[in-house]
Amino acid sequence: MATVFEMIINGEIPSTRLYEDESCIVILDINPVSKGHALVISRKCYPTFTDVPMETLSHMMEVARKIDRKQREVLGAEGTNIMINNSPASGQEVPHLHIHVIPRFSGDGKTPVFNKEKYADGEMGKYGELLKI
Ligand code: AMP
């Protein structure tokens, strides 16, 4: 079944488009964390960050940076959250790669993205060994 983003790309459902080229489109998120929250979406449906070719991903990051600059210039954003939810366990709802670019303002009171956890004594070193690449 087509993802909601494929339907947007195919013009089957409406969207507010900010940009498009041969490998991605940018739209406004319909349910924004803050006004101007944008989604950089791969034109081809790669389900996750893990699946997308590096060339496409780096192009999408370049586009995300242009959107970040525009949000700062035009909306006066003082910061942005650049986020990719990667697989359902991380909160990804639409299985079609997209980068969130969310305008942020000092003291805007938005809920922190992560609830943090604590390492037990000695555990951080173990994770450090496990995750070396
Ligand atoms: P994620 O949880 O990372 O998969 O994010 C999916 C995002 O897509 C959510 O922030 C939704 O609000 C957004 N979304 C879902 N449907 C639409 C739509 N039709 N137009 C614009 N944004 C959408």
The string of pLDDT tens digits covering residues 5-61 is 999 999 999 999 999 999 999 999 999 999 999 999 999 999 999 999 999 999 999
Expressed as residue numbers, the domain containing 116 is 4-131
For the chain, give the mean pLDDT. 95
| CATH number for position 15 | 3.30.428.10
Catalytic residue among 37, 96, 98, 100: 98
**Residue 49 DSSP code:** T
59 carries an active-site annotation = no
Decide: 92 in ligand 1 pocket, CB within 6 A. Answer: yes
Question: Which pTM was predicted?
Answer: 0.95
Which atom of ligand 1 is closest in space to residue 29's alpha carbon? 22
Distance of CA 121 from the midpoint of ligand 1 (Å): 39
In whole angstroms, what is the distance from residue 14 CA to residue 8 CA?
6
Give me the residue label for tokens 């929250």.
37
**Residue 133 DSSP code:** -
Decide: 4 in ligand 1 pocket, CB within 6 A. Answer: yes
Decide: 29 in ligand 1 pocket, CB within 6 A. Answer: yes
pLDDT tens digits along 73-124? 999 999 999 999 999 999 999 999 999 999 999 999 987 667 889 999 999 9
Q: Structural domain tally of the chain?
A: 1
In sequence order, the 6+-apart residues with CB closer than 8 A to the CB of 87 are: 48, 50
